Amino acid sequence: LEALSHTFLIVVVSRASAQGMDIKALTQFRKMILCVLPNSWPALDYADYGCYCGKGGSGTPVDDLDRCCQVHDQCYSDAMQHPECWPILDNPYTEFYDYSCDKENKKITCGSKNNECEMFICECDRKAAECFGRSPWNPEHEHLPSDRCQ
């Protein structure tokens, strides 16, 4: 019975840690977006925009911003296939990486201490954040019905 209790505790802690890592890793991407768009609300502005910003994605991007999300989604898919990324350990949604933000120039730099997989994922997020910074946000594309994404 004691062994079962220990096993249960390990499973609960592991699941909580994994969920916490997911939040922390996505927080890195959020902070990158804030580096280039300091007055934005990334969790709200990009969580359900167009056909690709947010969970899932299909069809033709509705504008440049949506295209940024499509490219970012593909980059994460490529990271999952990257030879230096281990499928479960190096998930783009949970991988931590080193980067810096030059707020004055709105420039993001991925750190040289990153291993190849961390660098690949960091570059996915950097490129997407900088793309968001160049692309206008159109309120008509927020909460777009899925039937418009053909």
> Active-site residues: which are they?
72, 125
The 3-state DSSP class for residue 37 equals coil
Dihedral angle computed from the Cα positions of residues 29, 62, 146 and 31, in that order, rounded to the nearest 10 degrees: 10
> In angstroms, how far is CA 11 from the centroid of its own chain?
26
Q: Please name the residues in contact with 98: beta carbons below 8 A apart, sequence gap of 6 or more.
A: 110, 111, 113, 114, 118, 122
**Which amino acid is it at 7?**
T
**Which amino acid is it at 140?**
E
